[in-house]
Amino acid sequence: MTKEFKSADSTDRLSMLLGFQRVSDNTLDKTKVIEKGKGIYVYDSDGKEYIEATASFYVASLGYQNEELIDAIEEQYRKLPFFVSAMHRAPAKSIELADKLQELVPNKDAHIMFASTGSEANDFLMKMMRFDAVAKGTPDRKTIIGRHSSYHGGTIATASLTGAHHEEFGLPIEGFRHVSQPDYHGSRLPGETEIEYCDRLVSEFEILIEAEPEGTIAAFFAEPLSFSAGFKIPPRGYFEKIQKLLLSHEIQFVCDEVITGFGRTGSVLGSDAMDLEPDHVVMGKALTSGYFPLSAVSLGSSLYEGLEMGSEQYGVLAHAGTFSAHPVGAAAALKTLEIIERDKLVDHAKKMGCRLKEGLMPLTEHPLIGDVRTFGLGVGLDFLLRDENDLVLNNDSDERSVEMYEKLLAIGMIARPAGRSLVIAPPLIVKPEEIDDIVSRVSTVLDSMA
């Protein structure tokens, strides 16, 4: 029997623990219980409709109740609902998906390693880097660089790579360093040009590298544009300069495309959109449109060679995940990718992104908004204001972003407060009139806050 979730005044603790909120808010009255979804909409237990304007944490790119995707998943369940990938055995579907991803990723000659979540994928990759370093006789090359305020996952290692929430968890563990997140609007010095700001970031990176013992840094992980840090788009020239720096120090470059992958940026991958040449790419979330947990890493050729070398030395590569490369996940991903290609959803996302931009760009003039950033099918409304001398004017931007999130929720729209910015990134299948509805709700709520 399905449990009824109607008693909105209940203050009992839920049996399930929810994250990214106060633990004491873990009660029914403070929880929207979502029961179903269709297209870009989800419905709570009171029947209230919400536009899921973040595709539910940037995942449900094909929206809800995509029958074709459900059929493909059901077909795989009937054929082979599970089989492990290890010890000379693997499901046909999973190999088919690896072939497909190999074609899509920018690092040619890559090999695909599967996992179940974005966290696991990042974690597995760092582990493979260590194996590679040991195999190549440089076991000390294991320090990883991330960026402040980025998010890369919930495991001990990925939470250490993440650039926030360390203190409360007693993190980071040994071997992680962080550089600044590109944030021209929030972190520039008064009057500093974008080029000057970019050069300052590059020189900070150089100083960090110089301070580490020679040959100990393995990799730098970054999202092509950071949704997790609040929709931060790097300044022009940033990645070009950083990539040069990394190359000169033999530091591997990893694009965490867990959010930016599969159409979100108006290109198949964010690294294409930004013209990046990563050594490895990490994918998850929208890979299956969220219909099954599956993630993947495209391992660059040098790392793959290291794995072969190491396994000759140690006998095997003693690594696997029982549910990694799950055949149902593979079927979901293959169908998702097929639909994205067939229905030209990357182009569609770009067009819908332009419409969203046209609708929200005028908000740069709004007294509460300091910056409107747009890219692909995504927008960040930034509440940090600067005065005529380019000095930061307010210290309530985080609260403003949360306030707007709550007000939008009340009128049936789910956006994402990320620090001082509110992020909007609806499913790729969003229709023009739905974009107009999002724009109108955002403008109405903002005006009510002024």
Ligand X SMILES: Cc1ncc(COP(=O)(O)O)c(C=O)c1O
Query: To the nearest whole angstrom, how small is the minimum distance from the Cβ of residue 256 to ligand X?
Result: 5
> CA Rg, the chain, in Å?
22
Kindly tell me which of 151 and 238 has the beta carbon lying closer to ligand X. Answer: 151
Cβ distance 58 to 264 under 8 Å? yes
Q: Which is nearer to ligand X, 143 or 162 (CB)?
A: 162
Q: CA quadruple 8, 23, 394, 415: dihedral positive or negative?
A: negative
Nearest Cα to 328, choosing from 97, 125, 142? Answer: 97
The DSSP bridge pattern shows strands 371-374 and 379-382 to be antiparallel
The span from the CA of 286 to the CA of 264, in Å, is 9
CB of 59 to ligand X, least distance (A): 8
Q: Is the Cβ of residue 186 or residue 293 nearer to ligand X in the bound state?
A: 293
**Nearest distance, CB of residue 332 and ligand X, angstroms:** 15
DSSP category for residue 35: E
CB of 146 to ligand X, least distance (A): 10
Query: Least Å distance between CB 163 and ligand X?
Result: 11
The CB-of-227 to ligand X minimum distance in angstroms stands at 6
Comparison of 45 and 150: residue with beta carbon closer to ligand X: 150
Residue 5 or 57 having the CB closest to ligand X: 57
Three-state DSSP state, 220: strand
The residue number with the shortest CB distance to ligand X is 118
Quick one: 19 or 191, whose CB is closer to ligand X? 19
What is the spatial distance between Cα 175 and Cα 126, in angstroms, rounded to a whole number?
A: 11
Q: How far is the CB of 392 from ligand X (least distance, A)?
A: 26
CB of 372 to ligand X, least distance (A): 22
Nearer to ligand X, 117 or 288 (CB): 117
Give the CB-side neighbour count of residue 381, counting CA atoms within 13 A. Answer: 30
94 φ/ψ sector (left φ>0, alpha ψ -120 to 50, else beta)? alpha
Least separation in angstroms between residue 223's CB and ligand X is 5
Contacting positions for ligand X (CB under 6 A): 57, 117-119, 122, 151-154, 223, 228, 256, 258-259, 284
- CB closer to ligand X out of 310 and 419: 419
User: How is 94-160 classified by DSSP, letter by letter?
Assistant: HHHHHHHHHHHSSSTT-EEEEESSHHHHHHHHHHHHHHHHHHTT-TT--EEEEETT----SSHHHHH
Closest CA to 389 of 180, 182, 188, 181: 188
Separation between Cα atoms, residue 155 and residue 161, nearest integer Å: 10
The answer to whether 281 touches 263, Cβ cutoff 8 Å, is: no
Say if CB 373 and CB 406 are below 8 A apart.
no
- Name which of 154 and 359 has its Cβ closer to ligand X: 154
